[in-house]
């Protein structure tokens, strides 16, 4: 009787192992409300990526680093992939991008209300003291345009520099920028910030990336795209996006 019992338990354990989801590791950085390290449920992008891959029997473990390190570790296949990244020609050399964007954002320039900030073309920015975040797309664009830019390790650092007058203008996703202002400044100081309505650049999609060196790069990207499409069709995707933007 005991033999039959233990045999049954063994078979049950084998069945559980066979059906258990695969676990992959993705690097990311703090970019609230899109990616959040200290929130157990994660930011909206983490939720979208996790639920998309779960549709394909894959679970995700997120590891937070500086953006520069997150990118490097994924590039060298120390992890399985990384989120979330805008498209650039340099990144496309090293990574496969998901076919579909995880989400689309609007990147704008932030400044203090006391600054008479006007811009229509990048050339207009020569009149201002600019600050950007190391490794971010806007920093690269402004550098290519020949503009002098102070680089910081984080967007939060740039917003603090705005307030102290060390810089006059910095860019951020509109939602991220106001999240930083709300959570890091007093109500009195928060009222001093504003943004210009013009987009910094037209391309707003942020993507799931897997290094071309990864032996399963195309497979993982394809599974994400397939799972994301399922999430969109089910209505769950829209639900997640609305829950993030309505806060």
3-state secondary structure 103-166: EECCEEEEEECCCCCCCCCHHHHHHCCEEEECCCHHHHHHHHCCCCEEEECCHHHHHHHHHHCC
Q: How far apart are CA 200 and CA 107, in angstroms?
A: 6
Q: Mean per-residue pLDDT for 89-93?
A: 94
pLDDT at residue 116 tops 60: yes
Say if residues 199 and 220 touch (Cβ distance below 8 Å). Answer: no
> What does each C-alpha distance from 244 to 39, 60, 159, 219, 234 come to in angstroms?
13, 20, 22, 29, 18
Averaged pLDDT score across all residues of the chain: 91
Confidence bin at 19 (pLDDT 50/70/90): low
pLDDT at residue 18 tops 90: no
pLDDT at residue 1 tops 80: no
pLDDT at residue 16 tops 80: no
pLDDT tens for residues 51-63?
999 999 999 999 9
């Amino acid at each position: 009787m005991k033999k039959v019992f233990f045999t049954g338990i063994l078979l049950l354990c084998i069945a559980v192992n066979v059906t258990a989801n695969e676990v992959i590791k993705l690097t990311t950085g703090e970019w609230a409300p899109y990616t959040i390290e200290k929130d157990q449920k994660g930011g909206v992008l983490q939720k979208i990526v996790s639920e998309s891959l779960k549709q394909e029997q894959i679970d995700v473990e997120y590891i937070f680093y500086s953006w520069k390190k997150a990118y490097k570790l994924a590039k060298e296949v120390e992890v399985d992939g990384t989120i979330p990244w805008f498209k650039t020609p340099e990144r496309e050399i090293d990574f496969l991008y998901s076919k579909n964007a995880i989400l689309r954002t609007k990147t704008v320039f932030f400044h203090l209300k006391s600054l008479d900030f006007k811009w229509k073309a990048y050339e207009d920015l020569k009149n201002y003291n600019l600050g950007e975040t190391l490794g971010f797309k806007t920093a690269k664009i402004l550098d290519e345009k020949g503009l002098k830019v102070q680089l910081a390790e984080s967007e939060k650092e740039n917003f603090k520099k705005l307030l102290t007058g060390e810089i006059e203008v910095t860019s951020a996703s509109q939602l991220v920028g106001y999240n930083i202002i709300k959570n890091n400044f007093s109500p009195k100081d928060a009222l001093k910030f504003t943004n210009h309505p013009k987009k910094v650049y037209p391309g707003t999609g942020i993507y799931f990336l897997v290094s071309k060196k990864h032996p399963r790069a195309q497979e993982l990207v394809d599974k994400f795209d397939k799972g994301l499409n399922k999430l969109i069709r089910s209505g769950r995707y829209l639900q997640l996006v609305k829950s993030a933007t309505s806060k």
